[in-house]
Amino acid sequence: MAARKTTKKPNVSAEELTHYYREMLLIRRFEEKSGQLYGMGLIGGFCHLYIGQEAVVVGLEAAAEEGDKRITSYRDHGHMLACGMDPDGVMAELTGREGGYSKGKGGSMHMFSKEKHFYGGHGIVGAQVPLGAGLAFADKYKGNGRVTFTYFGDGAANQGQVYETFNMAALWKLPVIFVIENNQYAMGTSQQRSTSSAEIWERGKAFGIPGEAVDGMNVLSVKEAGERAVAHCRSGDGPYILEVKTYRYRGHSMSDPAKYRTREEVQKMREERDPIEQVRDMLLTGKHATEEDLKAIDKEIKDIVSKSADFAKESPEPALDELWTDIYADEVPQENA
């Protein structure tokens, strides 16, 4: 069964729609390959895949501008790829190799790119939220018009530090977009069992923070909501909350068998709501692309991902002296101490 067809005419060009399709497909194929490498023992430690949630980051990156920042949790590979980080470097870091973004010392959960304004995956639940507000504070201080996308999940939404951050962000009118990636199960407990409020974004009302719920399986809906949030923040009106309702197809991590939900539930979501299939349908029904065109894109993406896996396998492991690098900031010259 194909994904449910949309009746809404997309308010984007064929080029934009094709771009969203390519970006989501890159994330999907990359994560599938990551799962394979994990099973082969080439990726160790924790590994949290983003399969099913691709429309969230692709839609919000479509609303971002050069210089905007992003910070997220440990489910971070999709965010890296969406903001333009090189798949080779991401895959090499996943496998703990020297060619990775953190020189093989961070792994799946800890990668950064100053060039792409990506300030990490973070392994401590909710810890990235105050850090994201800090990034936004720096931008407000500099008056540069930039915004920060601060991603966290429905599970992290119950952390106390999140609400401390809401309070400060509202008080200081920080240009930060709090993105709640609500995949409905956190680590393995459904939202209905763990969260008293049906709409998590409404908690921001206590601090005077506006927001909205968004269909996170539809990249165009996410893009539109992202544009509203960005406009609000850039205008100097303070923070904004987006609760993006999405769905991950895999378990919380590669070690999670996900027995807390039925196979039928996951399959139904794949068949009726898959974000990539929805865009694929728009491209075909709108005559923006043919089946052959889409097959060519799929082959191109698979080649990119295969190349990234080969690069990772061929990249050497970090030298032992790398243990002592990137620990402290550059030393202050003695005369300025």
- pLDDT tens for 21-51 read 999 999 999 999 999 999 999 999 999 999 9
Q: How confident is the model at residue 334 (pLDDT cuts 50, 70, 90)?
A: low
Comparison of pLDDT for 3 and 176, the residue scoring more: 176
pTM of the model as a whole: 0.93
Number of CB atoms found within 10 A of residue 4's CB: 14
Q: Given a cut of 50, is residue 269 above it in pLDDT?
A: yes
pLDDT score, position 118: 98
Chain position carrying tokens 């893009």: 223
- pLDDT tens for 166-192 read 999 999 999 999 999 999 999 999 988
Q: Given a cut of 60, is residue 164 above it in pLDDT?
A: yes
pLDDT score, position 195: 87
pLDDT score, position 4: 45
Task: Give the contacts of 276 (CB within 8 A, at least 6 positions apart).
Answer: 21, 24, 25, 28, 54
- pLDDT tens for 217-266 read 999 999 999 999 999 999 999 999 999 999 999 999 999 999 999 999 99
Q: How confident is the model at residue 125 (pLDDT cuts 50, 70, 90)?
A: very high
Quote the mean pLDDT of the chain.
94
> Which percentage of the chain shows pLDDT scores above 90?
89
Our CA angle for 236, 241, 247, nearest 5°, is 150
Q: Given a cut of 70, is residue 14 above it in pLDDT?
A: yes
Number of CB atoms found within 10 A of residue 218's CB: 20
Q: Given a cut of 90, is residue 6 above it in pLDDT?
A: no
Q: Taking the mean position of all CA atoms in its chain, how far away is CA 102?
A: 18
Task: Give the contacts of 183 (CB within 8 A, at least 6 positions apart).
Answer: 52, 53, 153, 154, 246, 247, 248
Q: Given a cut of 70, is residue 157 above it in pLDDT?
A: yes
Q: Which of 153, 236, 155, 162 is nearest to 203 (CA)?
A: 162
